[in-house]
A = this chain, B = another copy of it.
């Protein structure tokens, strides 16, 4: 498949969300206009995005919701299970694991780590918190697809390096730091401080 821009992937992801809602409501077809209205974009953009993947609506009928859900799930790689290791056993991790869309989309946490002696050995959402210093021995013999890093800023790069050395190719980073990884590893950073500061900047410089 051709490489598509991240902005397109993000729109496809949004379309999928709406289509799943429509599906739950028993709606069978949807127009590009309805998808555009929910996605904050134009119907021309929707048609362009979807024709790119060979999905064509029928004039006057629109797209089949069920067909489009299947197609988008396939494109976004949601037809399989992703094994996730979480490094940092805090509230963000708990929020993530209990987030409805997480398991539903095939993301399964298979290991949880922390350096805090008060947390190591304790139960955490059905798993036992393991010592983060033993990341290598704990993960050496099992497949992990995604590392979720929820550590303080000053240890995040070290943790990322060790995950990369273990062969993990995708990282979701909640530490407030820009991680450096090899080209074949993908990192997404969710930086709450940064989001808050773009808001405070906007409120201050109106």
Q: Do A195 and B178 touch (CB < 8 A)?
A: no
* B residues near A90, Cβ cutoff 8 Å: 95
Task: Decide if A78 is an interface residue (CB 8 Å cutoff).
Answer: yes
CB neighbours (8 Å) of A10 from chain B are 194, 198
Q: Are B21 and A154 in contact (CB under 8 A)?
A: yes
In the assembly, what is the distance between CA of A172 and CA of B197, in Å?
11
- Comparing A43-51, A61-69, A184-192, the segment that makes contact with chain B is A184-192
Contact between B13 and A205 (Cβ–Cβ < 8 Å)? Answer: no
Whether A176 contacts B101 in the complex (CB less than 8 A), given A170-B202, A196-B107, A203-B170, comes out as: yes
What is the distance, in angstroms, from A5's C-beta to the closest C-beta of chain B? 11
Give the complex CA separation of A200 and B9 in angstroms.
11
Q: By the criterion CB–CB under 8 Å, are A13 and B203 in contact?
A: no
The reply on A139 being an interface residue by CB < 8 A is no
* Inter-chain contacts of A75 with B (CB < 8 A): 201
A59 within 8 A of B: no
A119 within 8 A of B: no
What would 8 A/B residue contacts be, using CB atoms closer than 8 Å? A9-B197, A13-B191, A17-B176, A21-B154, A82-B200, A95-B95, A105-B200, A172-B195
